[in-house]
């Protein structure tokens, strides 16, 4: 089972990149974030044509998440329980017996802002969802743009960037509270190298060429599933496309 996560920064603007890469990579599951499309305008035709199923939750202008899969998704849930009007940042589904949690974690703006508190609290709400709906002994894969670079080797300048909302002790603690529920960083099981990034800021000149990036996009799995992982890697192909997102996909393969 091949699973990937990709912050597409507008699904409609990135449609060709996403469709071509999805077909070429032969993915069983692709979770995308920042679709920036309302449900009524979701580009279903493009995915019908290539034989992929889809579930999605979007909103106008911002956020939005979707999961594409070869097999039909079951037990689909969008958003946190009892908060149907929340931002479109969370969708979960069961695919081939694996629970897939796709998140677009709030970025947090600035450390002193309310938005940062919202971000930190968002992780704790997610822990509540894990506790209520899953068991750490089950096969669960949590993927998405988590907007946290966990380690010093996950950012291009850990000294200068320390205290940024995506590389902040409180963000690290919040992520740890969530992973302590029962998740393993599948990428780090397979690769210990520094400088392995999934995001390069558009606003920095030549950030990709200079590899001034961040590892913000993650594939985490419960121990039962992580033990079956055979590979995990970042695919820079889509970041080098003609009209790239500022993120690039991360891919994991599982023997399930």
Partner DNA sequence: ATGGTCGGCAACCGA
User: Given the complex with DNA, which of 12 and 53 has the nearer CB atom?
Assistant: 12
User: Given the complex with DNA, which of 18 and 140 has the nearer CB atom?
Assistant: 18
Do residues 1 and 34 touch, judged by C-beta distance below 8 A? Answer: no
CB of 212 to DNA, least distance (A): 13
CB of 191 to DNA, least distance (A): 24
Phi/psi zone of residue 109: left (φ > 0), alpha (ψ -120 to 50 degrees), beta?
A: left
User: Given the complex with DNA, which of 9 and 69 has the nearer CB atom?
Assistant: 9
CB of 244 to DNA, least distance (A): 8
Kindly give, in sequence order, each residue whose CB lies less than 8 Å from that of residue 171, ignoring residues fewer than 6 positions away. Answer: 108, 119, 120, 147, 148, 165
User: Given the complex with DNA, which of 2 and 164 has the nearer CB atom?
Assistant: 164
- Pairing mode of beta strands 53-57, 229-234: unpaired
CB of 209 to DNA, least distance (A): 12
- The span from the CA of 230 to the CA of 222, in Å, is 14
Instruction: Give the residue carrying structure tokens 């822990």.
Output: 127
Helix (H, G, I), strand (E, B) or coil at 181: coil
- Which of these, 147, 180, 183, lies nearest to 166 by C-alpha position? 147
CB of 198 to DNA, least distance (A): 12
- The span from the CA of 111 to the CA of 253, in Å, is 35
User: Given the complex with DNA, which of 1 and 17 has the nearer CB atom?
Assistant: 17
Tokens read off for 24: 């070429």
Do residues 67 and 52 touch, judged by C-beta distance below 8 A? Answer: no
Contacting positions for DNA (CB under 7 A):
9-10, 12-14, 36-38, 60-62, 106-107, 109, 115, 202-203, 205, 243
User: Given the complex with DNA, which of 96 and 147 has the nearer CB atom?
Assistant: 147
CB of 160 to DNA, least distance (A): 18
């Amino acid at each position: 089972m091949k699973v990937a996560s990709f912050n597409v920064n507008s699904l409609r603007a990135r449609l060709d990149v996403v469709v071509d890469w999805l077909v070429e990579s032969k993915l069983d599951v692709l979770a995308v974030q920042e679709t920036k499309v309302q449900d009524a305008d979701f580009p279903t035709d493009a995915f019908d044509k290539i034989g992929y199923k889809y579930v999605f939750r979007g909103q106008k202008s911002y956020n939005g998440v979707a999961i594409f899969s070869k097999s039909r998704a079951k037990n689909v849930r969008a958003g946190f329980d009892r908060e149907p009007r929340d931002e479109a940042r969370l969708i979960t589904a069961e695919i081939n017996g694996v629970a897939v949690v796709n998140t677009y974690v709030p970025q947090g703006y600035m450390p002193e802002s309310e938005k940062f508190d919202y971000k930190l609290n968002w992780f704790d709400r997610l822990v509540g969802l894990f506790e209520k709906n899953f068991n750490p002994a089950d096969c669960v894969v949590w993927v998405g743009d988590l907007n946290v670079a966990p380690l010093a080797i996950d950012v291009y300048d850990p000294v200068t960037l320390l205290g940024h909302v995506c590389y902040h002790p409180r963000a690290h603690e919040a992520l740890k509270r969530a992973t302590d529920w029962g998740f393993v960083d599948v990428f780090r099981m397979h690769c210990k190298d520094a400088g392995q990034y999934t995001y390069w800021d558009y606003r920095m000149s030549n950030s990709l060429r200079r590899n001034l990036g961040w590892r913000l996009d993650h594939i985490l799995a419960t121990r039962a599933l992580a033990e079956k992982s055979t590979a995990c890697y970042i695919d820079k192909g889509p970041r080098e496309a003609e009209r790239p997102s500022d993120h690039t996909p991360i891919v994991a393969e599982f023997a399930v």
